[in-house]
């Protein structure tokens, strides 16, 4: 019997080499239709019959890509080769031990989740679903009934601990109608979703508008909502859950990180500015030790491109009141009608020059006063005892200090 299996294996390899070489891949696989497969293929290259598709996809499954098919499949045994080593989720947990509590009631590949087990051109998690195929919240939950948070958490165990700490979990208490409680107040009624991936509002596959509209169903009374939809954040396709995690209350307002760290996740050039020689005192952990991005910016609204809480100069004067005036002799550069106000000379976040100046030394003044390039060129205009009241003066037209 063993000799017969070995002979069949040799024949199969020979047929594979010849078939692949002379008739082409597609025709060769067609020719295998109905052919009796050997019971034992130990040591045989599976790609001889099954092709090398796993090596060619965008997101290959590692065992298939490396040709280690026996990680998941039997090479021999009752009924021949090809069967799975295990028909339960324990097959996946042999490698993915950290996912033991990830939807424990479902089998990984039969739940319409990771069913592209050999590899996928669409999704790194081997999920066949695509955003362009997702019908949206309303169509996904059409005709569904509300089942309650406990039913949801029976599968989504990983969210239980975080959810119970979240402010959103309070929606499960009181006399609210069931449509406004717990998971289903955001994801929609869940009866169509039980035991399958589809049939529910899936935020990871929804458009940013659909996500924001869902959040604003409850947060519509917040004072910033009228301005939010016109912000730069929305125009660039961001959604509420880019910054906020509705399941977790680790940080205030359900932020995914501390406020400054959250902002600097996207605004990387600003992170660089805050590392320069002179910069505003930013603190990522304790706001009592420095400024927060939201001291100046309103992420849900605000003025102009920078989403500032106030007009630029007024914002600066909140802390730098001694520079506001009014002065008898105003410095024209600080008049927003004639320039960029404070930002004519200063950089808001950080600078390689002292005092957040845009240019080094007298170069700052030369930006406007080009006719004074040779006026005491060896000295800085304001540190030489001359124009030291450069923000404005009540005593001298040329801003000389007392």
- pLDDT for 141-163, tens place per residue? 889 999 999 888 887 877 888 88
pLDDT of residue 147: 92
96 within domain boundaries: no
Whether 212 and 293 share a structural domain: yes
Full domain range(s) for residue 330:
315-393
* Percent of the chain predicted with pLDDT > 90: 6
SS3 per-residue string spanning the chain: CHHHHHHHHHHHHHHHHHHHHHHCHHHHHHHCCCCCCCCCCCCCCCHHHHCCHHHHCCEECHHHHCCCHHHCECCCCCCCCCCECCCCCHHHHCCCHHHCCCCCCCCCCCCCCCCCCCEECCCCCCCCCCHHHCCCHHHHCCCCCCCCHHHHHHHCHHHHHHHHHCHHHHHHCCCCCHHHCCCHHHHCCCHHHCCCCCCCCCHHHCCHHHHHHHHHHHHCCCCCHHHHCCCHHHHCCCCHHHCECCCCCCCHHHECCCHHHHHHHHCHHHHHHCCCCEECCECCCCHHHCECHHHHECCCCCECCCCECCCHHHHHHCCCHHHCCCCCEECHHHCCCCCCHHHHCECCCEECCHHHECCCCCHHHHCCCHHHCCCCCCCCCCCCCCCCCCCEECCCCCCCCC
Whether 70 and 17 share a structural domain: yes
Those residues with Cβ within 8 angstroms of residue 47's Cβ, 6 or more apart along the chain or in another chain: 67
Whether 136 and 73 share a structural domain: no
Whether 371 and 330 share a structural domain: yes
Angle at the Cα of 61 from the Cα atoms of 57 and 64, rounded to 5 degrees: 90
112 within domain boundaries: no
pLDDT of residue 366: 81
Write down which residue in 259, 281, 309 finishes a domain: 309
* Percent of the chain predicted with pLDDT > 70: 78
70 within domain boundaries: yes
pLDDT of 401 > 70? The answer is no
pLDDT of residue 24: 46
Q: Extract the tokens encoding 95.
A: 């490698």
Whether 200 and 213 share a structural domain: no
Whether 198 and 213 share a structural domain: no
Write down which residue in 205, 234, 265 finishes a domain: 205
pLDDT bucket at 226, cuts 50 / 70 / 90: low
pLDDT of residue 286: 57
Write down which residue in 151, 183, 205 finishes a domain: 205
Whether 326 and 347 share a structural domain: yes
Angle at the Cα of 306 from the Cα atoms of 210 and 213, rounded to 5 degrees: 10
CA distance 318 to 214: 36
pLDDT of residue 225: 65
30 within domain boundaries: yes
Whether 216 and 292 share a structural domain: yes
Angle at the Cα of 172 from the Cα atoms of 170 and 178, rounded to 5 degrees: 140
What total of structural domains would you count in the chain? Answer: 4
23 within domain boundaries: yes
Q: Of 67-71, 124-128, 182-186, 313-317, which range is least confident? A: 124-128
pLDDT of 217 > 60? The answer is yes
221 within domain boundaries: yes
Q: Of 234-243, 248-257, 276-285, which range is least confident? A: 276-285
CA distance 376 to 166: 64
pLDDT of residue 131: 47
Whether 66 and 150 share a structural domain: no
Whether 190 and 218 share a structural domain: no
pLDDT of residue 135: 76
Whether 13 and 78 share a structural domain: yes
Whether 201 and 218 share a structural domain: no
């Amino acid at each position: 019997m063993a000799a017969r299996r070995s002979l069949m294996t040799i024949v199969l390899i020979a047929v594979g080499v010849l078939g692949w070489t002379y008739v082409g891949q597609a025709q060769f696989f067609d020719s295998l239709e109905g052919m009796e497969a050997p019971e034992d293929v130990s040591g045989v290259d599976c790609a001889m019959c099954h092709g090398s598709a796993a090596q060619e996809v965008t997101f290959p499954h590692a065992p298939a890509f490396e040709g280690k098919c026996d990680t998941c499949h039997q090479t021999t045994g009752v009924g021949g080769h090809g069967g799975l080593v295990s028909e339960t989720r324990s097959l996946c947990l042999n490698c993915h031990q950290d996912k033991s509590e990830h939807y424990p009631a479902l089998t990984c590949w039969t739940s319409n989740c990771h069913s592209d087990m050999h590899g996928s051109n669409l999704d790194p998690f081997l999920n066949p679903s695509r955003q362009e195929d997702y019908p949206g919240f309303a169509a996904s939950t059409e005709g569904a009934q509300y089942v309650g948070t406990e039913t949801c958490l029976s599968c989504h165990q990983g969210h239980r601990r975080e959810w119970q700490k979240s402010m959103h979990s309070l929606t499960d208490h009181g006399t609210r109608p069931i449509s406004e409680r717990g998971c289903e107040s955001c994801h929609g009624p869940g009866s169509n979703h039980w035991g399958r991936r589809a049939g529910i509002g899936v935020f990871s596959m929804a458009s940013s508008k659909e996500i924001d509209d869902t959040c604003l169903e409850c947060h519509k009374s917040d004072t910033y909502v009228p301005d939010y939809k016109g912000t730069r954040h929305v125009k660039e396709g961001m959604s509420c859950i880019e910054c906020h995690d509705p399941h977790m209350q680790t940080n205030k307002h359900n932020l995914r990180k501390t406020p400054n760290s959250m902002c600097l996740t996207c605004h990387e050039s600003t992170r660089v500015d805050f590392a320069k020689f002179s910069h505003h005192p930013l603190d990522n952990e304790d706001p009592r030790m420095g400024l927060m991005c939201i001291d100046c910016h309103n992420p849900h609204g605000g003025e102009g491109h920078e989403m500032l809480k106030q007009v630029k100069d007024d914002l600066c004067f909140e802390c730098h009141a001694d520079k506001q005036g009014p002065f008898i002799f105003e410095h024209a550069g600080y008049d927003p009608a004639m320039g960029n106000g404070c930002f004519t000379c200063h950089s808001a976040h950080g600078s390689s020059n002292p005092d957040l100046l845009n240019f080094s030394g007298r170069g700052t003044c030369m930006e406007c006063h080009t006719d004074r390039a040779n006026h005491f060129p060896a000295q800085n205009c304001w540190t030489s005892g001359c124009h030291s009241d450069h923000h404005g003066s009540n005593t001298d037209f040329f801003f000389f200090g007392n």
